[in-house]
Amino acid sequence: MRSGFVSVVGRPNTGKSTLVNALVGEKVSIVSDKPQTTRGRVRGVLTTDDYQLVFTDTPGFHKPRTLLGERLNEMVGESTHDVEAVVQVVDGAAGVGRGDAFVATRQVAPLRCLKICVVNKVDAMKRGEVVAQLEAASRLAEFDHVFPVSAKRGAGLAELLQVLVEVLPEGPAHFPVGEVTDRPLELRLADLVREKALALTREELPHSIAVQVEELERTEGLVRITCAVLVERESQKGIVIGSGGEMLKRIGTQARKEIEALLGSKVFLELRVKVQKEWQRDPRALGRLGY
C-alpha cells in the first residue's frame, strides 16, 4: 500500500474544489463562481486497492481585507506542511496573472516536495491559447510538471493522478475504505446550504454569508435540520429572505435535495436568517463558526 497527502492551492476561482471533487469521484467540496467559497481545509480521499491519496482543498489565497481573510490564508499555509506534493491550480481561460504569481511565490516556491501546476478550464480555450498559458504557468515557479486539465470535463486527470501516485511513499491508509472526507457532517450540511445561497443571491452577499447547523435530529425515516444563515446587515437579511420569503424557500428547496441525497433520508430543513454584525472581523464570531 502507498499513501500520502497532496495540497491543492491557488488564487480564488481557479477551480480547485472542482478538481478535488473530480479526482475523488464524489462531491466533498462545494463549488460556486464566488470568491471564498471554500472556507476551510477540506480533505478528499481517493482509495484504491494499491494506494490512498488524500487531497486537501484550500481557500483561495488572496490579499486579505478582513480577519476571516487572514485566517483563511493561514489555513493555506498550514495545509502545505508535510505533504508529498503541492498542486497549484491556475485558470487558463482567464489567463495566468499576478494573483497566480503571488500564490506561487508565497505558497509553492519555498516547498521541498513535488510541485505541479495545473492549467485548468482548457475546455474553454483554443489550442493556441492552451500552449501560451502552459508556457506562462511554467514561469511561475520551478514546477516538476505542468498539466493542461479540464476538471469539469475530466480531461487530463489520469495523467495527473499517475504522477501523484508515483511520488507516494509506502505506508498504511490514513482513512478507512469508503470514507471520502474527514469533514464533520454538520459542516458539510452547512456548506451545502451556503452553496445554494451563493448561487441564488446577489453579488454583494457572498463574503457576508455564513451558515451554522443549530439542530440535527434523526427520527425514523426523517432527519430534522435547523440552520442559521448569518449575514452582516439588515439589508442583507431582506435579500436572503426575499419577497414573501421566496428566496429563502428556493435556497432551502435546492439544499434539501442535495442533503437528502447525501444522507439517504427524507429531510425537514428549516432556515433562520440572523444578523451578526461584522462577523468577518469578530474573533469570537469566527471562533464559533470554526474559522
Give the model confidence (pLDDT) of 105-115 as tens digits: 999 999 999 99
- Phi first, then psi: give them for residue 69, nearest 5 degrees: -60, -40
Instruction: Say if residue 57's pLDDT is above 80.
Output: yes
Q: What pLDDT does 84 receive?
A: 96
Cell of 113: 516536495
- What's the Cα-to-Cα distance from 128 to each of 118, 133, 141, 156, 159, rounded to whole Å? 17, 9, 22, 17, 21
C-beta atoms surrounding 224 within 10 Å: 14
Q: What pLDDT does 36 receive?
A: 66
Task: Provide the pairing of β-strand 266-275 with 222-231.
Answer: parallel
Q: What pLDDT does 274 receive?
A: 96
Res. 60 pLDDT band, cuts 50 70 90: confident
Q: How many CA atoms lie within 13 A of 59 on its CB side?
A: 22
pLDDT averaged over every residue in the chain: 91
Q: What pLDDT does 204 receive?
A: 63
Task: Tell me the domains of the chain and their CATH numbers.
Answer: 2-166 (3.40.50.300), 185-288 (3.30.300.20)
What is the mean predicted confidence (pLDDT) over 178-204?
89
- Please give the Cα distance from 115 to 181 (Å, whole number): 23
Q: What pLDDT does 64 receive?
A: 72
Whether 181 contacts 188, CB under 8 Å: yes
Length of the chain equals: 291
Res. 206 pLDDT band, cuts 50 70 90: low
Q: Sheet harboring 42-47: ordered strands across?
A: 42-47, 51-57, 2-9, 85-91, 114-120, 145-148
Instruction: Say if residue 207's pLDDT is above 80.
Output: no
What is the mean predicted confidence (pLDDT) over 104-131?
94
Q: DSSP code of 169?
A: P
Q: What pLDDT does 291 receive?
A: 77
- Phi first, then psi: give them for residue 109, nearest 5 degrees: -55, -40
Instruction: Say if residue 197's pLDDT is above 80.
Output: yes
Give the model confidence (pLDDT) of 61-74 as tens digits: 777 778 888 887 78
Whole-number percent of the chain with pLDDT over 70? 97
What is the mean predicted confidence (pLDDT) over 31-47?
80
